[in-house]
Chain A
Amino acid sequence: MGMRRVILWAPLALFALFGLLFTTGLLKPSSSTIRSHLVGQKLPDFNLPAAQAGRPSVSSAALEQGGPRLLNIFASWCVPCAAEAPQLAQLRDAGVRIDAIAIRDRPDDIAGFLKRYGDPYAAIGADKDSSVQLALGSSGVPETFVIDGKGVIRHQHIGDIRPEDVPSLISAVQAAR
């Protein structure tokens, strides 16, 4: 008899459980950040054209030489990229080398952006169709990768760099030596 009672109530209990799951799912904001699964692995092969005439560009081969650095994924049309500019300047002043990839951008727009918000970059590559961004497992702008001296991705920072993120990024680059 007890078993029968359990079976009788089980559908209602299941329904209530799913109802609860559904409502909590609706109320919870969906903020899934998609991390790159390439952290800890070597950079994929790429070779981008320079984003600005007469300035160095970014390639996987170049990133394997010259010590650890930050690889900043940005765009002149991206609002939070302007917000992180002071923090990038601070990192550069602390002796961190910053290379950059400009996503879907034009030389004139990049020049205007750098003039307005400062230019912390040692090299900038132009990724016109987001293909290198996809190859890196990046899903938006801005994002910043820590690359060690051998071209291995050590860390991924998603979103704009806030003032409180600066010290940990400096130590991450130093640890990547």
Chain B
Amino acid sequence: MRGHAFFALAVAVASPALADSLMPAAELADTALPDPVQEAKAKDLMYSLRCLVCQGQSIADSNAELAGDMRAMVRRRIQAGETPNAIRDWLVARYGAWVTYDPPLEPVTWPLWAAPILLVGAGAWLARGRFKRRGRAA
């Protein structure tokens, strides 16, 4: 009983760590661009950029205000004719490869790219041993 009361009090007292501002969402945060080709490009990019506040979500999925401002920035720049890769590079220059779900090939990330090839190679080697043995038995 006392535990419940304490819990209720804790919930009532706790203020959200990430308070929101009183300002409305940025103009292009939740509004599609009029040009469907540009909007598709912007959407693709948004799904591959990581939200800085919620961290587990892409900026396309996040309700955080900073994610909304990032979506607006992506749409603004796509509309101005910037390429998705240029926008991604701009963000990576500021936040590191952490910000993109499409990591560039770097010394730190090369195992990500090499591991599948190595694993398939190891699998083929194992399978080869099996087939050989079976062949001999037959």
Contacts and interface: CB of A to CB of B under 8 A. Distances in A.
Interface string A96-127: 00000001111001000000000000000000
A104 B126 CA distance: 59
Contact of A129 (B19, B55, B69): B69
Contact of A104 (B21, B94, B95): B21
A46 interface: no
A34 B64 CA distance: 16
A38 B19 contact: no
Given A105-B21, A131-B73, A139-B66, A36 B126 contact: no
Contacts of B27: 129
B72 A129 contact: yes
Interface residues of A, number: 28
Nearest to B67: A130
B27 to A, nearest CB: 8
A105 B73 CA distance: 18
A105 B98 CA distance: 28
A interface SS class: loop
B53 A37 contact: no
Contacts of A92: none
A103 B91 CA distance: 19
A106 B73 contact: no
B22 A7 contact: no
A134 interface: yes
Interface of B: 15, 19-23, 26-27, 52-53, 55-56, 65-66, 69-70, 72-73, 91, 93-96, 98-99, 126
Interface of A: 7, 30, 32, 34-38, 75, 77-79, 103-106, 109, 128-131, 133-137, 139-140
Identify the 7 closest CB pairs spanning chains A and B, nearest first.
Answer: A137-B94, A104-B21, A139-B52, A130-B69, A129-B26, A104-B23, A77-B21
